[in-house]
């Protein structure tokens, strides 16, 4: 478990944020139910009105982090002194000026080391550069108080890295918070911060959102600032935030969306309200292996369908438009190649092949899988994945679907240890295939997808519902999310372990 300490570091200057987001924020709807904590939009507005200072907001977040870190272990590197210095200097400009915030520990933030949740990063230097996507948060006025926990190199859908220890779910301390943006989700769910940066390469925003009762949207490939070429199927990762309210996610989306002259997609802008248009909705029940989810997840999916039908949307049941079993095998091949690249980068630094001193058993197993994959087998897998992406895209017009609803994963939050990095490799791979059979589809297709916290199990655990669209259709998802948030609010639901 990482010990939180205060470090006196130089402040990072923040630029000016997009004016249209701040101006439009006044028209954003209020979340349908009251939370004990303000969401990011409300907290930033309170700071702008002078009802509290940025320093007071940051001090509160730090106090909450210090109180809960020993139990939840969601922050792996604190930046408290630098955050306080910046906050006491005055409220930064931007729509989220003064908002306490976390950056996931696979992304560089100037002045902090990036350790990737790995023992290999134990001596990582402080970053001296950061991406355009992270720059946008600074321009929006957030004040970063530290780095959030992640599994090693974001490889697993649970946050239990050997390097920093278990990150616990505030809804049940014996259960996983999901991954790989697990630390971010826990910090938001427990009330430490109102929003936190997150990434998604195979469900890493949506799975923690589902397990922690949050809203999480994965944008389209090529949508956000600093992202890769949308035409490359291997660029499966994208970045956004985890939040408690839809309006917070929509506002950050507008902050981080690429709207420049070379943007890969026509801008969406700030989505601020639901649509009156009724949608044609496909319902996908079976995962990539053709299996139905566990009963509590199936019940949550059924409840979501009843809610959508009751709101006047048209419902049709559907199936994946390609071979799901082959898809999962091919996705795992691609995942293994990412692990090999990660290991190769480490090897160049330490001048030898990394072993158990640097990498976890699961990561080493992926590397071994990658080495056993011939160039011909990799090429065939990529060819099939490209075909899957095309099949996904044509699925929507073929059946006139606007969105597709499915479970996020096949079960509620698993017990800690069930999908941990030390589980024997073949056993863990089998468990992962059964557990994470839904969200990687959208990373390959480059399509937007969101988890909405519409249900809680009889045991009191959150179960998200996933709703996905064709690439570029984030507006449809945000508009539907606003409607569902008003119809079946969740902001009042607070986990047993909280600030």
Q: Which CATH entry fits the domain spanning 19-322+386-487: 3.90.1150.10, 3.40.50.1860, 1.10.3720.10, 3.90.1300.10?
A: 3.90.1300.10
Question: Mind listing the pLDDT tens digit for each residue in 333-379?
Answer: 999 999 999 999 999 999 999 999 999 999 999 999 999 999 999 99
User: H-type helices in 372-495, by residue range?
Assistant: 375-399, 425-435, 440-445, 474-487
Using alpha carbons, list the distances in angstroms from residue 276 to 15, 39, 293, 490: 37, 25, 31, 22
Q: Tokens 């309210």 correspond to what residue?
A: 245
User: Tell me: the pLDDT tens digits for 47-101?
Assistant: 999 999 999 999 999 999 999 999 999 999 999 999 999 999 999 999 999 999 9
The predicted pLDDT at position 11 comes to: 29
pLDDT surpassing 60 at residue 18: no
What's the mean pLDDT in 2-17? 31
pLDDT value at residue 32:
62
Catalytic residue among 148, 181, 204, 468: 204
pLDDT of residue 14 exceeding 60: no
Cα–Cα distance for residue pair 187/237, rounded to 1 Å:
22
Asked whether the predicted pLDDT for residue 6 surpasses 50, the reply is: no
Phi, psi angle pair for 135, to nearest 5°: -55, -40
Provide mean pLDDT across the span 146-168.
Answer: 98
Higher pLDDT residue, 36 or 419? 419
Write down the pLDDT at residue 234.
82
- In this predicted structure, which of 20-34, 194-208, 282-296, 318-332 has the lowest mean pLDDT? 20-34
pLDDT surpasses 80 at 19: no
Peptide bond into 180 cis (omega under 30): yes
Does residue 204 have an active-site annotation?
Answer: yes
Nearest to 211 by CA among 144, 285, 296, 292: 296
Contacts of 165 (CB under 8 A, 6+ apart): 1, 2, 73
Q: Are 363 and 338 in contact (CB under 8 A)?
A: no
8 confidence band (pLDDT: 50, 70, 90): very low
Active-site residue identified among 78, 148, 176, 180:
180
**Per-residue confidence (pLDDT) for residue 30, from 0 to 100:** 76
- Whole-number average pLDDT of the chain: 93
pLDDT at 34: 75
193-227 pLDDT, tens digit per residue, is 999 999 999 999 999 999 999 999 999 999 999 86
Contact assessment for residue 313 and residue 426, using Cβ atoms and an 8 Å cutoff: no
The single residue listed with the structure tokens 């075909």 is: 387
Of 467 and 231, which is predicted with more confidence? 467
Strands 143-148, 100-104: pairing is: parallel
Q: Is the confidence at residue 10, as pLDDT, over 90?
A: no
Distance CA 84, CA 65 (A): 14
pLDDT band at residue 16 under the 50/70/90 scheme:
very low
Residues 6+ apart with CB under 8 A from 30: none
- Which tokens in the block code for residue 289? 């292996």
Q: Could you give the CA distance from residue 420 to residue 155 in angstroms, rounded to a whole number?
A: 11
What does each C-alpha distance from 469 to 292, 337, 348, 402 come to in angstroms? 21, 27, 40, 7
Q: Which of 18, 104, 196, 245 is catalytic?
A: 104
- Beta strand segments in 230-278, E: 238-243
Q: Is residue 116 scored above 60 in pLDDT? A: yes
Which among 179, 256, 243 is positioned nearest to 216, based on CA atoms? Answer: 243
The three-state secondary structure class of 85 is: helix
Q: Is 457 a catalytic residue?
A: no
- pLDDT score of 20 more than 70: no
């Amino acid at each position: 478990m990482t010990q939180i300490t205060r470090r006196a570091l130089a402040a990072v200057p923040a630029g000016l944020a997009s004016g249209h987001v701040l101006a439009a924020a006044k028209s954003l709807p209020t979340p349908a139910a009251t939370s004990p904590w303000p969401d990011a939009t409300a907290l930033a507005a309170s700071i702008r009105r002078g009802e509290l200072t940025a320093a007071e907001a940051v001090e509160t977040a730090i106090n909450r982090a210090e109180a809960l870190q020993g139990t939840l272990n969601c922050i792996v590197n604190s930046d408290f002194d630098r955050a306080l210095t910046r906050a006491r200097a005055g409220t930064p400009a931007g729509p989220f000026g003064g908002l306490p915030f976390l950056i996931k520990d696979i992304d560089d933030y100037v002045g902090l080391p990036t350790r990737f949740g790995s023992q290999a990063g134990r001596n990582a230097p402080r970053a001296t550069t950061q991406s355009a996507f992270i720059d946008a948060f600074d321009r929006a006025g957030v004040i970063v108080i530290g780095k959030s926990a992640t599994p090693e190199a974001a490889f697993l859908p649970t946050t239990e890295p050997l390097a920093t220890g278990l990150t616990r779910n505030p809804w049940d301390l014996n259960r996983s918070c999901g991954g790989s943006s697990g630390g971010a989700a826990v910090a938001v769910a427990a009330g430490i911060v109102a929003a936190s940066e997150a990434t998604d390469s195979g469900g890493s925003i949506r799975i923690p959102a589902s397990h922690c009762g949050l809203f999480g949207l994965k944008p389209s490939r090529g949508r956000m600032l600093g992202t890769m070429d949308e035409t490359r199927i291997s660029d499966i990762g994208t970045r956004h935030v985890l939040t408690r309210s839809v309006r917070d996610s929509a506002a950050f989306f507008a902050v981080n969306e690429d709207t420049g002259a070379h943007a890969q997609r026509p801008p969406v802008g700030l989505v601020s309200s639901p649509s009156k248009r009724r949608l044609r909705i496909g319902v996908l029940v079976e995962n990539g292996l053709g299996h139905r989810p566990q009963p509590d997840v199936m019940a949550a999916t059924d409840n979501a369908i009843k809610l959508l039908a009751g709101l006047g949307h048209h419902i049709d049941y559907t199936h994946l438009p390609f071979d799901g079993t082959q898809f999962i095998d091919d996705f795992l091949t691609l995942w293994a190649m990412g692990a090999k690249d990660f290991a190769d980068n480490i090897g160049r630094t330490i001048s030898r092949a990394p072993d158990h001193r640097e990498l976890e058993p699961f990561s080493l197993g992926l590397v071994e899988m990658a080495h056993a994959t011939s160039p011909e087998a990799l090429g065939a897998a990529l060819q099939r994945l490209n075909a899957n992406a095309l099949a996904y895209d044509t699925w929507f017009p073929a059946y006139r679907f606007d969105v597709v609803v499915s479970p996020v994963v096949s079960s509620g939050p698993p017990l800690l240890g069930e999908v941990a990095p030390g589980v024997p490799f073949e056993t863990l791979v089998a468990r992962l295939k059964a557990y994470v059979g839904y969200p990687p589809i959208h990373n390959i297709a480059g399509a937007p997808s969101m988890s909405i916290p519409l249900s809680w199990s009889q045991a009191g655990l959150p179960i998200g519902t996933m709703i996905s669209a064709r690439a570029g259709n984030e507006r449809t998802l945000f508009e539907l999310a606003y409607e569902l948030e008003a119809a079946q609010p969740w902001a009042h639901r607070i986990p047993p372990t909280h600030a």
